[in-house]
Structures are given as structure tokens and as C-alpha cells.
Amino acid sequence: MKTIHNIAALCALALACASTGFAQDNPQQQDVPQQQAPQQNPQQPVYYVVPQQTNTVQYVVVPQAQYQQQNQQAYMPPPQPQQPVVVPPLAPRESKVTLFMGLDINFYASSMTYKRDEDHIVSDNDIEYETEHLYSGLGVNMGLSLGVLIKDFIGIRGFFDIGEQSGESDYWNYRMRCSNDSCSNVDTDVTDFIFGISATLFPFNRTNGNGALYNAYIQGDFALNLRNYDDDFAKTFDHTSTATFFMKIEIGKLFSISETWNAGIGIAYAIDINDVTSYDDDHDSFIDETEGRQSFWAGVRFVRKKNKS
């Protein structure tokens, strides 16, 4: 009986030892802490990204130990107040159309031929009378112009010129003979009033920059010329004033004085044309008047136009 009790005690002791060993082999049966630091490979340290409070949000990388020591938690910083942004004003848009005006002073030499044919019908007879007036002279012309310039390339202006010339005239008439050549080499003063439109082209301004050909131009004038002849025979030969169609072609070069002012020189060739046929009731005659004048011009130009900077 005593032997049975000894065997039972040994079994109980063995059972207790087995239970203790099982508990140690099963950690789930033990109390587990709420948070365990992760076991890391000592060869691969852990780093954390930490935001910094500066003018601009920047991040630095710190080791795990420093991060844990500072006990900082990852967060997003509150939004910074927006600073006012100053937007500079837009530069004014440069106009493609600018003011274009000028003052011209010219010396010009002219040569004119005027012919007048009167065709009378008297008693079924056709009688013709001819009158001729030749003139040549030198003078000074001054002109003002005002208009617009488009893209520093082409300009349109209205202009007014006034000119004074002094020269000599020769008169001849079929009915009126001048004794002792008194109708030749007659001192004559001529006044020109010219109204018209001028077109100026600067062909190199868009391709030459500010080179030597910048502001070189070609110009055409189209106008009406009212001319007055003053001498001892103009009224006698019925040729004191005429109106002609005026055309002039000019080439020249302007030199920049400032951003808007220029001075230059130009030479030109001009023609005046007039061909009129009328009927005279008082003398029952047809009158055909033909006048042509050519002139050469040279002078200085003062022009206001915007130049390239």
C-alpha cells in the first residue's frame, strides 16, 4: 500500500514538471507586453523622417535612437498663411501705328512748256491760232506734312508745299508778233501751291535692324499744283495761272537724332501735267491747252517718327 502511494506521488511530480515545460514552450500562454520594439538587423539601422518648422517645410532623416529620444511624432505642420503676391503691371502694348510728320526745305529747278491751240470756224473756214510759253527757273520750296506710320514700314501723310521761283520766259503767238524779240528772256516769278497725299516706304526697316540702311526711304507724292506766273506778258498771252496734276518720286535717308526725331536728305524728280479742251462761246472756238513741267528737287528733311531703340 505504501508502494502505491509512492508511485502516485512520483506521477504527480512528473505531471507538474511537464506542465511547466509546456507553458515555457508556448509563449501565448504568458502575458505579452502591449508593444515590443521590432527586432532589427544590427547591420540595417532604422531612420525616421521628421518635419521641420521653417519658412518652407523641409524634412530631415534621423536615426532611430535620436527619434525615440526626442519622442517626436510624425505630423503635418499647419498651413502657413498665404503671403500677398505682387504682380507687376503689364507693359503697355506698343502701338503699330505712330505719328508721322515732317518739314521739308528744297531747292528745285523747273522747265515748263505751255501750248494753247485755238480752232476758230469763220464762214466755214477753219482758222487756227497758236500760243506758246516756255519757262525755266530756280527756286526754294518748303513743305509741311502730317500723317501716320504703320509698323515703322509704310507712312501715309497729307502735305502742303509752297514754292517761289525766279526765271525767264519766252512767248510766241500766231496773231501777236513781238518786235525786236521783246517777248524773249522775260523775267518771270512763279509761285507754286501744292496740296496732296504722300506715301513713304522704308523697305529696310523690318529686315536691317539699326544698320546703315535703316530709315532709307522711297516716297511718292500725288497732288494738285496751282501755279501763278507773274511777268509783263503773262496776262497778255492769257497764261497767268494754271492747275496741273503733280507727281513726284523721291529717294533719301533719315538719320536718327533721338527716339522720335530725324534729319536727312532727299533728291526727287517731279512732273506736272495738264491737258484740257474747252469751248469758247464768245469766239465760237475750241481751245486745247497742254502744259508740261519737269523739275528736279534736292533738300533736307526733318521728320518726327518713332525709331527702333
* DSSP secondary structure string for all residues of 165-181: EEEEEEEEESS-PPGGG
Q: What is the mean pLDDT of the chain?
A: 81
pLDDT computed for residue 32 by the predictor: 46
264-281 exposure pattern, b = at least 16 Cβ within 10 A, e = fewer: bebebebebebeeeeeee
pLDDT at 114 over 70: yes
Q: Which of 209, 210, 289, 193 is nearest to 255 (CA)?
A: 210
pLDDT at 66 over 90: no
In this structure, of 107-116, 132-141, 271-280, the range with the lowest mean pLDDT score is: 271-280
Contacts of 35 (CB under 8 A, 6+ apart): none
Rg of the chain in Å (alpha carbons): 54
Q: Which of 205, 301, 209, 309 is nearest to 260 (CA)?
A: 309
pLDDT computed for residue 27 by the predictor: 47
Cell 530709315 -> residue: 215
pLDDT at 67 over 50: yes
Q: What is the mean pLDDT of residues 140-154?
A: 96
Q: What is the pTM of this model?
A: 0.66
Query: Residue 38 and residue 40: Cα distance in Å, rounded?
Result: 6
Domains in the chain, CATH or no CATH each? 97-304 (2.40.160)
pLDDT at 274 over 90: yes
pLDDT at 30 over 50: no
Query: For residues 71 and 236, which has the higher predicted lDDT (pLDDT)?
Result: 236
pLDDT at 16 over 60: no
Query: Residue 239 and residue 170: Cα distance in Å, rounded?
Result: 12
pLDDT computed for residue 146 by the predictor: 97
pLDDT at 285 over 90: no
pLDDT at 291 over 60: yes
